[in-house]
Amino acid sequence: MSSIILRATARPLVAILAIISIFVLLRGHDAPGGGFIGGLLLTGGLALHLVAFGSRATARAVRLEPLSITAGGLLMVVIAAVVPLVQGDELLQAQWWFAIPHVAKVGTVLIFDIGVYLVVVGTALLILLTLAEE
């Protein structure tokens, strides 16, 4: 069992890392960051939760199977790649639909980044939970 100090500080730190990971995800196509780095930040928070509370509590907190998260991310990446083909452009050509001021531009690049984010989180979570249970 982990220390009381770790358990007391883990929840707010996980929340802070989750918020920062979303920020990094949303600014990724305009500045350094994106789905991969954002996913790693969230994975770090989930690893902290795992150390503080154990694998069962972390799996309950996530609520989704890691493979489902990864599959959803892969589906989003494929959609982001194919949408330009349907519109007569090249594979993975950026398509911009609208912008949310001071937040993000919405288009295929954001869908691709979210897909990468989910693939990273799902894969890393599967690895972490598998190693923790052994």
Q: Give tens-digit pLDDT for 36-53.
A: 999 999 999 999 999 999
What local confidence, expressed as pLDDT, does residue 102 receive?
A: 79
Alpha-carbon span 122 to 134, nearest angstrom: 19
Lowest-pLDDT choice from 28-32, 42-46, 125-129 = 28-32
pLDDT for 67-111, tens place per residue?
Answer: 999 999 999 999 999 999 998 889 888 888 888 887 788 889 999
What local confidence, expressed as pLDDT, does residue 72 receive?
A: 98
Residue 28 has pLDDT above 90, yes or no: no
Q: 107, 97 in Cβ contact below 8 A?
A: yes
Alpha-carbon span 72 to 54, nearest angstrom: 25
What local confidence, expressed as pLDDT, does residue 118 receive?
A: 98
pTM of the model: 0.91
Q: Nearest CA to 108 among 21, 29, 20? A: 29
pLDDT for 1-27, tens place per residue?
Answer: 679 999 999 999 999 999 999 999 988
What local confidence, expressed as pLDDT, does residue 1 receive?
A: 62
Element housing 43 (H / E): helix 35-53
More confident call, 92 vs 122: 122
Contacts for 131 with CB less than 8 Å, ≥ 6 apart: none
Sign of the alpha-carbon torsion through 57, 37, 105, 88: negative
Q: Nearest CA to 122 among 85, 81, 70, 74? A: 70
What local confidence, expressed as pLDDT, does residue 63 receive?
A: 95
Residue 32 has pLDDT above 80, yes or no: no
